[in-house]
């Protein structure tokens, strides 16, 4: 998406890093660039508002659910692998472990 207008920070860069901005996971200097971009670019501001609303809705509807500890440790393990630059196994996080019985098929 692009509004077609030139900006100091390109629309594609803003949209590629939108969740980092929403989650406050970027340096203050980048946040300032994004805020300036949103003041100038209504399509990106609209996308930001939409993603912010979805994030709030998910938090409100799902934020109280407890995460199973085994799933949490698998996810955290994958995050650690990615951060350390190691290859991440292709196995799906939700797939049952080999030693864990699965529900009987009907």
What's the whole-number mean pLDDT along residues 48-76?
A: 85
User: How far is residue 47's CA from residue 106's CA, in Å, rounded to a whole number?
Assistant: 44
More confident residue, 106 or 2: 2
Q: What is the pLDDT of residue 1?
A: 56
Helix axes 28-40, 42-62, angle to 10 degrees: 120
More confident residue, 65 or 17: 17
Q: What is the pLDDT of residue 24?
A: 92
Give whole-number Cα distances, 80 to 14, 76, 77, 84, in Å: 26, 6, 5, 6
CB proximity list for 42: less than 8 A, separation 6 or greater = 3
Q: What is the pLDDT of residue 76?
A: 83
More confident residue, 89 or 24: 24
Tokens of 71: 């799933």
Q: Is the pTM of this model over 0.75?
A: no
Residue 91 pLDDT exceeds 70: no
């Amino acid at each position: 998406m692009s509004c077609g207008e030139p900006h100091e920070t390109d629309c594609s860069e803003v949209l590629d890093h939108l969740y980092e901005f929403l989650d406050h996971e970027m340096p203050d200097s980048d946040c300032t660039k994004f805020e300036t971009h949103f003041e100038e670019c209504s399509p990106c501001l609209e996308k930001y508002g939409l993603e912010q609303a979805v994030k709030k809705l998910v938090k409100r509807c799902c934020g109280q659910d407890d995460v199973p500890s085994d799933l949490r440790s698998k996810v955290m393990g994958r995050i650690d692998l990615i951060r350390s630059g190691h290859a991440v196994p292709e196995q799906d996080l939700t797939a049952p472990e080999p030693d864990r019985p699965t529900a009987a098929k009907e």
